[in-house]
Amino acid sequence: MRRRRHLLLAAVLAAATIVPLGLTASAAPAAPAAATFTDDFDGPAGSPVDGAKWQYETGDNVNNHELEWYTAGANNGALDGQGHLVITAKKENPGNNNCWYGYCQYTSARINTSQRFTQAYGHFEARMQIPRGQGMWPAFWMLGDNIGDPNVGWPASGEIDIMENVGFEPGSVHGTIHGPGYSGSNGVGAGYTLPGGQSFADGFHTFAVDWAPNSITWSVDGNAYETRTPADIGGNRWVFDHPFFIILNLAVGGYWPGNPDGNTPFPAKLVVDYVHVTTSNTTPPGGGGTITGLGGKCVDVASANNANGTPVQMYDCNGTAAQQWSAGANGSLQSLGKCLDVAGANATNGTKVQLYDCNGTAAQNWSRPGDGTIRALGKCLDATNNSSANGNQLQIWDCAGSANQKWTVNS
* Cα three-residue angle 100-106-112, rounded to 5 degrees: 85
Numbered ranges of CATH 2.80.10.50 in the chain: 291-409
Please write the tens of the pLDDT for every residue from 335-362.
887 889 999 999 999 999 999 988 888 9
Q: What is the pLDDT of residue 3?
A: 39
User: In the 3-class helix/strand/coil scheme, how is 47-85 assigned residue by residue?
Assistant: CCCCCCCCEECCECCHHHCCCEEECCHHHCEEECCCCCE
Count of all residues that appear for the chain in the document:
411
Q: What is the pLDDT of residue 89?
A: 98
Tell me the pTM: 0.66
Residue 165's Cα: distance from chain center in Å? 15
Give dist(CA 121, CA 4) in Å, integer. Answer: 22
Q: What is the pLDDT of residue 360?
A: 83
Give the catalytic positions in this structure: 159, 164
Please write the tens of the pLDDT for every residue from 162-179.
999 999 999 999 999 999
Which residues neighbour 189 within 8 Å (Cβ) at sequence distance 6 or greater? 2, 161, 174, 175, 176, 177, 226, 228
Give dist(CA 245, CA 367) in Å, integer. Answer: 27
C-beta of residue 347 within 8 angstroms of C-beta of residue 377: yes
| CATH numeric code, 291-409 | 2.80.10.50
Numbered ranges of CATH 2.60.120.200 in the chain: 9-282
C-beta of residue 166 within 8 angstroms of C-beta of residue 257: yes
Q: What is the pLDDT of residue 191?
A: 96
Q: What is the pLDDT of residue 1?
A: 37
C-alpha dihedral sign at 268, 72, 147, 224: negative
Give dist(CA 317, CA 333) in Å, integer. Answer: 18
Q: What is the pLDDT of residue 280?
A: 54
From residue 320, how far is each of 303, 333, 387, 390 by CA, in Å?
A: 10, 16, 22, 15
Give dist(CA 337, CA 292) in Å, integer. Answer: 20
Report the chain's C-alpha Rg in angstroms. 23
Indicate left, alpha or beta for 273 from its phi (over 0: left) and psi (-120 to 50: alpha).
alpha
9-282 CATH choice from 3.20.20.70, 3.20.20.80, 2.60.120.200, 3.40.720.10: 2.60.120.200
Residue numbers in the chain where pLDDT is lower than 70: 1-33, 280-288, 329, 411
